[in-house]
Structure 1
């Protein structure tokens, strides 16, 4: 079949970034420079030019910037993502007859008889005819231009014709760079090829890329062991949490807790009078997902907490768990939103042989799925109206993916600054699909990546394109659901090691505290990742002033992160070889800020080895001596060339976090060895 216009000779392909052939938007952060690349080429020897077209979806008119040639038919252009929300971009390219003529003319001029290296008997070049061709192209450009541009181009065309008529013995190139640039501003787009897809880009605010989360249970914050914790108690802790350097305070569900089949301590299927139950068993006669568990306080108390958190430089993140206790109002009002068993009862949550009678899953195949979707969306909008702009979503991979794409899209139309964290410890394709559907951040497999090879392989996947075009990892060494064997068996050094890894490998990280800072590491039973005396099922008291707390280390880590832009993004992560399988070394950079981290992955004994630095990655010449500063201790060392030695005692400090000093300091200790032993 013939094309509508067969004279369009330019091909555009391999456009990047794009996610799943443009099915989903790529993601960037407000203020980013977005680089778009493509393979662009045509037949023959004619030159090709092109431009990137881009705009926020709220604007009608395209913005544009010229494409620059890279190598081997690859081109690129960059635009500034200066607004939150949805952007659209595409490419346009054409045969550039003027640029082809200009390059051809330069070749003719260089081949004129009498030019350096050209024989006087060489074949004459018909320069006047070439000048007449150029004049015609300038006249056409003048017709496309307006005002003073049109007049200048027309004048240049007339000048070329005059030069052609003069028939000089030799000619110089007749046009200034200014005129060449002016012609480029008025290209002939009559036969331009437009890339057939208009691709989308979603622009988040900075906190989607860089955030530091602290999770606590409000009911466990009372200073009085005999009293249920309240929002006011949480508010009293804000100065302490803010001083530790956290910018997101995350609360598990704050809604009324059902009484039917309420769980007892240690996930006991029966409860006693006074047992608080699981916050994830949402809903009681007082209300559901838009209500507050009354022992925590009132809506006014909640609003005060949100405002106070912002005054301390933090945002409040709420847990949204789309499931219901048997007492949730939806159970009576909308039974068709749940799975009905043959005996007429509602199906509770099960993972055979485990039973969770205190939770009813929602049925996303309900005949009233539209009503269900709207009700769930309205849960988010209700809390957004109370100035909550961050949500951690519980088990989103157990809900329909089309729902998330619709729901997040609907919310972002009005509130593009809302951030969604997916608690998606699930299969890779499903985890990535949630990110593509709109989740701003996601939990990862970091918790279960413990060896050097596991960590390196995993982070080389999630911190490089194409994954980084849609996925922002958030690293958690523990959660209320997950106490990994590494923490159970590694003692205090393991808690230090894992939080250092989380805080430096990832720009987004969080801890479930104070369980983490106090080293809570006793499992419910051997082989289990559940905590003994889990806070999910009972109120706990925490001694935040305990001498063994690693809160001072966490505070220092968060200060280091804030002071070093290199640790506030993930794309520059680069691993360096070490001759010891128990030492992981990696670097990050941002501008002139360079950070190099070495971590002992063995919590039981000292490990030492020689780091083989990738000097090219660090922009350090071979055989150079340079200074580094350990930001954990303030100690400076002088290193030389590629091979440098470290020794790390896990009971003292399992890591170095070095800042590279670009100019050697002659007063620095004259040693090529660093050790914390």
Structure 2
């Protein structure tokens, strides 16, 4: 049975390696991450290791690795890419003749053993380093002089030895390498920073600007023009992405009524996820919203305000979709001749036909690729994919790769609330971001375990997006926790991971659930909403007549903090600390300044996860993880309130509904 050659200098366990190197590692521009490997050799000669980065132009960049654990031959270094594109990296193990001579000569010469022999061998190694490695004339002259001094028998032995051993810095920067043994190449995809770090705001465009006749109760749909009027407020809160639920024509056959009932009334708008009607399918716009000129104007207005538009890609069809007649092979036909509608027993979705990609793969793949291009051509570069786990993984791998050929800046978010194997594999084949189980992780121990997992090896390919609620999810924690729950969950989502999002209405703490379900009552999927954003302005941030809270200022401050503190832009830099009360979560993020770490940013977050009561406790910080000694003190600048305290490794905190449930603290050293 054949084996992969191990190499003259064994290089093993290169990390990160996604699926053993079969899948690409991912990062964004300037994102720091560690590359490690096990590198060793036989005998006592010195070994060394180098990471070789190959940029999109094929230029190689050599970065010296450091021995992290001599007993385990564990080497590592931190790398980053300065631009987008397809990179690769490998680890090269090599014999280090200069380090071997340096070690042996120091011992032998000082002991008076083989003195002249060791000095001559040093001169020859240094001459090889001069002749075999490209370097400046000035450095070459230094090596020539060092070799001559090693051979100068008229000088003291100690000076001659020092002439050779004092070259460590020069020969570390441009070393002489023997028996170079490379690992396999690992593909490395480097993407724009929004693929990792961003704040999303979800809207149903038809609700933005929708009006209801007070006499008849009938609604007039919002339009792209009225939805655009909401964009300045979204931008002012500091969001980066405005995400639109489906904007296509909605089928009438089996249309769902309010709260997902089967008896839709004449004027019920239906679910926008039941895509397709006589007006068109996935490449068409709902006529109530406007035409493509109106859509283009919406996208342009968003761009003026610094927002990107994300669209929902829901690959399913209403019974009225053109595909149902033009491409019946896209669907599953049952024994009675009918097309099968979507089911997730006991749930039934009579208004939706799921696409069967196994019936006619070439035609189905080509049709989806065609509709993707329609929206890319209209300025959309972000797609939130609805239920990608119900379609073949190989289809997503093909589609994402094919789009990336001409549009590498397109970002894909997987709305995959499913088993871990599927979530992780979707990320491995190309999805830049993924929804997660965050909504259901409410205890400190749960969050610590989950985020530690996400920030570990999985961070090489999967980027989590934390959403406290969505239009389909309203957990008991949010139903019964009041405004405090909405504050703490938004703050944690915004600081635990680089990308988070909220669903419109979050500002008003919409927390009434449909009986028997973890979703909103009067779900916006099936009806219009008018949240009366105008009241937030008229009443100074609060609808006094109805006692309605307004968290918009709180969300704005969260997003300001995120933008001002680069430590919150990254995923792999999190450390969890401890508190004496199990309801208190404490973590820190460090880094994001200069790549040499000289301008590091340190953020500490302390959150009370009990939304019903104030809690007082002592938190204990791992001081070295924030760049301080165990007994040092620092200025803790609380960024939500602008307060300052002097903190150390043990600190008293009191958090809860009576004030704020969370501290976000910037560390400032004395």
Tell whether the structures are fold-level matches, with TM greater than 0.5. yes
Q: 1:453 aligns with which of 425, 428, 445?
A: 445
Mapped to 2, the partners of 1:252 and 1:326 lie a distance apart of: 20
Mapped to 1, the partners of 2:239 and 2:446 lie a distance apart of: 28
Taking a change above 3 Å as real, the CA distance of residues 309 and 37 of structure 1, as seen in their structure-2 partners, is same
1:394 and 2:401 correspond: no
SS at match of 2:510: coil
Instruction: Show the counterpart of 1:533.
Output: 522
5 Å-filtered alignment, 1:6-405, equals 9-56=8-55, 58-72=56-70, 73-112=73-112, 125-137=113-125, 144=132, 159=148, 163=152, 172-173=160-161, 174-175=163-164, 177=166, 181=170, 185=174, 187=176, 191-195=179-183, 197-222=184-209, 224-225=211-212, 226-366=219-359, 368-405=360-397
Deviates more, 1:300-309 or 1:180-189: 180-189
Structure 1 or 2, whichever has the larger Rg, is 1
SS at match of 1:294: coil
Is contact 2:135–2:174 with CA below 8 Å preserved after alignment? no
1:264 positional shift: 1.1
Instruction: Show the counterpart of 1:661.
Output: 668
Mapped to 2, the partners of 1:245 and 1:154 lie a distance apart of: 56
Instruction: Show the counterpart of 1:467.
Output: 458
Taking a change above 3 Å as real, the CA distance of residues 77 and 602 of structure 1, as seen in their structure-2 partners, is closer
Deviates more, 1:251-260 or 1:371-380: 371-380
Mapped to 1, the partners of 2:271 and 2:234 lie a distance apart of: 24
Taking a change above 3 Å as real, the CA distance of residues 620 and 64 of structure 1, as seen in their structure-2 partners, is closer
Deviates more, 1:147-156 or 1:550-559: 147-156
Instruction: Show the counterpart of 1:599.
Output: 607
Mapped to 2, the partners of 1:617 and 1:52 lie a distance apart of: 26
Deviates more, 1:33-42 or 1:470-479: 33-42
Taking a change above 3 Å as real, the CA distance of residues 626 and 447 of structure 1, as seen in their structure-2 partners, is same
Is contact 1:277–1:537 with CA below 8 Å preserved after alignment? yes
Is contact 1:249–1:317 with CA below 8 Å preserved after alignment? yes
Query: TM-score, normalized by length of structure 1?
Result: 0.88
Instruction: Show the counterpart of 1:549.
Output: 550
1:315 positional shift: 0.7
CA deviations on 1:360-391 (whole Å, 9 max, x unpaired) are 1111222x212212222333232122221111
Instruction: Show the counterpart of 1:116.
Output: none
Is contact 1:85–1:204 with CA below 8 Å preserved after alignment? yes
Deviates more, 1:371-380 or 1:23-32: 371-380
Give 5+ residue unaligned stretches, structure 2: 213-218, 537-542, 592-598
CA deviations on 1:293-329 (whole Å, 9 max, x unpaired) are 1111111111111111111111111111111111212
SS at match of 2:577: strand
Instruction: Show the counterpart of 2:511.
Output: 521
5 Å-filtered alignment, 1:394-543, equals 394-463=386-455, 465-514=456-505, 516-525=506-515, 527-543=516-532
Instruction: Show the counterpart of 1:666.
Output: none
Query: TM-score, normalized by length of structure 2?
Result: 0.89
Is contact 2:210–2:528 with CA below 8 Å preserved after alignment? no
Give 5+ residue unaligned stretches, structure 1: 113-124, 664-677
CA deviations on 1:13-46 (whole Å, 9 max, x unpaired) are 1111111211211111102344322111100011
Is contact 1:228–1:296 with CA below 8 Å preserved after alignment? yes
SS at match of 2:337: coil
1:158 positional shift: 7.9
Q: CA RMSD in A?
A: 2.8
1:511 positional shift: 0.7
Taking a change above 3 Å as real, the CA distance of residues 35 and 5 of structure 1, as seen in their structure-2 partners, is closer
Taking a change above 3 Å as real, the CA distance of residues 47 and 315 of structure 1, as seen in their structure-2 partners, is same
1:637 and 2:645 correspond: yes
Mapped to 2, the partners of 1:210 and 1:412 lie a distance apart of: 20
Mapped to 1, the partners of 2:602 and 2:128 lie a distance apart of: 52
Is contact 2:120–2:151 with CA below 8 Å preserved after alignment? no
Mapped to 2, the partners of 1:611 and 1:214 lie a distance apart of: 33
Instruction: Show the counterpart of 1:585.
Output: 586
* Count of residue correspondences: 641
